[in-house]
Structure 1
Amino acid sequence: MIPPAVPDPTPGHDPAFWLIGAAILLLLALSALFAGAETALTAASRSKLRARADKGDRRAAEALAAKEDSENLNGAILVGNTLVKILAASLAAALGLGLSGWRGAALGVLVLALAMLVLAEVLPRSLARLAPEETAGRLARPLALLARILAPVVWAARLTARGLLAPFGIRAGSAGPVFSVQDEIADALAVAESSGAVQKEERDRLLGALDLGERSVEEVMLHRSGIAMIDAGQTAEEVLDLVLKSPHTRLPVYRGERENVIGVIHAKDLLRGVRRALQESGPEALRDFDVLSTAMPPYFVPETTPLDEQLREFLRRRTHFALVVDEYGSLRGLITLEDILEEIVGEITDEHDMDAVQSLLPGPQGDYLVDGAMTIRDLNRALDWSLPDDEANTVAGLVIHMAQSIPAAGQVFSFHGYRFEVLARRENRITRLRIRPLGVPPPDKPAADQ
Structure 2
Amino acid sequence: MDAISTSTLFITLAILVLISGYFSGSETGLMSLNRYRLRHLEKQSHKGAKRVSKLLERPDRLIGLILIGNNLVNIAASAVATIIGMRLFGDVGIAIATFVLTFVILIFSEVTPKTLAALHPEKVAFPSSVILNILLKILFPVVIAVNWITNGLLKLFGISADKIEQHSLSKEELKTVVNESGALLPERHQNMLVSILDLEQVKVEDIMIPRNEIAGIDINDDFKIILKLLSHAQHTRVLLYRDQIDDVVGFIHSRDALRLLTKEQFTKASLLRAVREIYYVPEGTSLNTQLFKFQQSKERIGLVVDEYGDIQGLVTLDDILEEVVGDFTTTMTRTPSEEIHPQKDGTYIVDGSANIRDLNKEMDWSFPIDGPKTLSGLIVEYLEEIPEANVSIRLSGYPIEIIEVKENTVKRARILPELKG
Give the C-alpha shift of residue 59 in structure 1.
0.4
Larger Rg over CA atoms: 2
CA contact (8 A) 1:217 1:335 kept: yes
Q: 2:207 aligns with which of 207, 220, 242?
A: 220
Aligned to 2:179: 186
Paired residue type of 2:106: A
Paired residue type of 2:202: R
Aligned to 2:230: 243
- 1:153-200 CA-to-partner distances (Å, cap 9, x unmatched) read 5994996597379xxxxxx96996458655422221xx349xxx955x
Aligned to 1:208: 195
3-state DSSP class of the match of 2:354? coil
Q: Assess, with a 3 A threshold, how the Cα gap between structure 1 residues 227 and 311 changes in structure 2: closer, same or farther.
A: same
User: How many angstroms apart in 1 are the aligned matches of 2:95 and 2:245?
Assistant: 90
Aligned to 2:279: 299
User: How many angstroms apart in 2 are the aligned matches of 1:434 and 1:147?
Assistant: 70
User: How many angstroms apart in 1 are the aligned matches of 2:136 and 2:327?
Assistant: 51
Aligned to 1:163: 158
Aligned to 1:446: none
Q: 1:414 aligns with which of 394, 397, 400?
A: 394
- 1:201-236 CA-to-partner distances (Å, cap 9, x unmatched) read 564345334433443323212222322334454454
> Number of residues paired by the alignment?
403
3-state DSSP class of the match of 2:235? coil
User: How many angstroms apart in 2 are the aligned matches of 1:254 and 1:369?
Assistant: 35
User: How many angstroms apart in 2 are the aligned matches of 1:373 and 1:82?
Assistant: 65
Aligned to 1:311: 291
Normalised to the residue count of structure 1, the TM-score between the two structures is 0.68
Aligned to 2:25: 32
User: How many angstroms apart in 2 are the aligned matches of 1:330 and 1:146?
Assistant: 72
CA contact (8 A) 2:18 2:108 kept: no
Paired residue type of 1:266: H
CA contact (8 A) 2:21 2:110 kept: no
Give 1:213-362 correspondences, 5 Å limit.
Answer: 213-231=200-218, 233-234=220-221, 236-254=223-241, 258-276=245-263, 278-279=264-265, 286=267, 289-350=269-330, 358-362=338-342
CA contact (8 A) 2:178 2:190 kept: no
Give the C-alpha shift of residue 29 in structure 1.
0.6
3-state DSSP class of the match of 2:158? helix
Aligned to 1:365: 345
3-state DSSP class of the match of 1:243? helix
User: How many angstroms apart in 2 are the aligned matches of 1:174 and 1:325?
Assistant: 42
CA contact (8 A) 1:11 1:17 kept: no
Identity %: 26
3-state DSSP class of the match of 1:296? coil
Give 1:88-237 correspondences, 5 Å limit.
Answer: 90-91=75-76, 93-95=78-80, 98=83, 99=85, 100-101=93-94, 104-105=97-98, 107-128=100-121, 153=147, 156=151, 160=155, 163=158, 177=169, 182-188=175-181, 191-192=182-183, 198=186, 203-231=190-218, 233-234=220-221, 236-237=223-224
CA contact (8 A) 1:62 1:137 kept: yes
- 1:118-167 CA-to-partner distances (Å, cap 9, x unmatched) read 22321121233xxx5x77776788889999988995994996597379xx
CA contact (8 A) 2:56 2:62 kept: no
User: How many angstroms apart in 2 are the aligned matches of 1:304 and 1:365?
Assistant: 40
Gaps of 5+ in 1: 1-7, 166-171, 280-284, 441-450
Aligned-residue CA RMSD (Å): 4.9
3-state DSSP class of the match of 1:163? coil
